[in-house]
Amino acid sequence: MRIALHGRKFSKESFPYVKTIAKKLMDNGHEIFITDVCAKENRAEAKAYLQSYPQINILESLEPIDFFFSLGGDGTLLETVSLVGAMQIPILGINLGTMGFLATTAKSDIESALNLFFDGQYELEDRALLHLNSNTELFEGQNFALNEVAILKRDTSSMIIVRCFIDGEFVNTYWADGLMVSTPTGSTGYSLSCGGPLVLSQSESFIITPVSPHNLNVRPLVVSDKSEISFEIEGKGRSFLISLDSRSHTVNSTVKISLTKGDFTAKLVKISGSNFFDTLRNKLNWGQDVRN
């Protein structure tokens, strides 16, 4: 297989794991490629080592690649999804950081997880994406998100007013620092930190969650992912931020936006034996109670 590795600058502590991954791939007869971003952001020993493999320009076709390995945390995996886009190349997330709901393969499990991967003991999970529709070109065609789309106030400006509609029907006016719509995958991310619910990845839904709302009776809302969610934005400031996962763009109130379910998915590799509830218990410290 032809496997591409993507990551940002590797720390001195994490680089040995990168070497382990590359060696396992070579020992099993697979071709290794490195994204040009990964090669450029690493220096000295890491750069010399990584440049021994062919580089992929992320602006060119990725068709020859069979799998992407995302080396880092959830942010790196989200970036890998944006690179792959509609090509839907399967992505295995290997967590070289600490917290990770998407990059679920821990450093201590790398060798065993790769052995299972080489033996074909994995499945591909289709994760729904959000698609941003707008009356002006935004995000250079990469107008999709795996975790969430957020409308946010800029810097320290006053709160914004967001009128929300579902399939053309008025839902609510949110007076807040922002409003986000997340996928089930994104329910463990920004949405969770703003009080949103945990939603299983196979649930066919979107979650509308206000960011620091100025009326306490406003709560997150779970809606069908077959809905079209549209917005009208007001505020004392003349511009706002639209954020797609880790990417953001400044817009003004003349921009009209709506969200629908993407027409393609992100394909994440799930190694046999991994379990979403295990991940929740480990990451959120569930069950750490003397009564258990």
pLDDT of residue 53: 82
Helix (H, G, I), strand (E, B) or coil at 14: coil
Range 175-187 average pLDDT? 96
- 4-59 pLDDT, tens digit per residue, is 999 988 888 888 899 899 999 999 999 999 888 888 877 666 666 777 787 777 65
Q: Are strands 122-127 and 130-134 parallel, antiparallel or unpaired?
A: unpaired
Choice between 253 and 27, residue whose per-residue pLDDT is larger: 27
| Predicted local distance difference test score (pLDDT) of residue 38 | 85
What letter does residue 255 receive in the DSSP assignment?
Answer: -
What is the per-residue pLDDT for 146? 98
Q: How would residue 157 be classed by pLDDT, with cut points 50, 70 and 90? A: low
Predicted confidence band of residue 136 (pLDDT cuts 50, 70, 90): confident
Mean pLDDT of 186-205: 94
Mean pLDDT of 113-128: 96
Distance CA 70, CA 5 (A): 6
Mean pLDDT of the chain: 89
Q: At 158, is the secondary structure helix, strand, or coil?
A: coil
Residues identified as active-site: 74
Could you give the percent of the chain with pLDDT greater than 70?
A: 94
- Taking only the tens place, the pLDDT of each residue in 199-242 is 999 999 999 999 999 988 999 999 999 999 999 998 766 788 99
Taking a C-beta distance cutoff of 8 angstroms, is the pair 124, 34 a contact?
no
* pLDDT 10s digits, 267-276: 999 999 888 8
Please report, rounded to a whole number, the percentage of residues in the chain having pLDDT higher than 90: 62
| Strand, helix or coil for residue 256 | coil
Rounded to two decimals, what is the model's pTM? 0.91
| Phi, psi torsion values for 93, nearest 5 degrees | -90, 120
- In order of 134, 200, 229, 244, the CA distances from 144 in angstroms are 12, 20, 14, 7
- pLDDT for the residue numbered 44: 64
Q: What is the pLDDT of residue 97?
A: 77
Q: Residue 122's pLDDT band (boundaries 50, 70, 90)?
A: very high
- With left for phi above 0 and alpha for psi between -120 and 50, is residue 21 left, alpha or beta? alpha
- Within 10 angstroms of residue 234's Cβ, the number of other Cβ atoms is 13
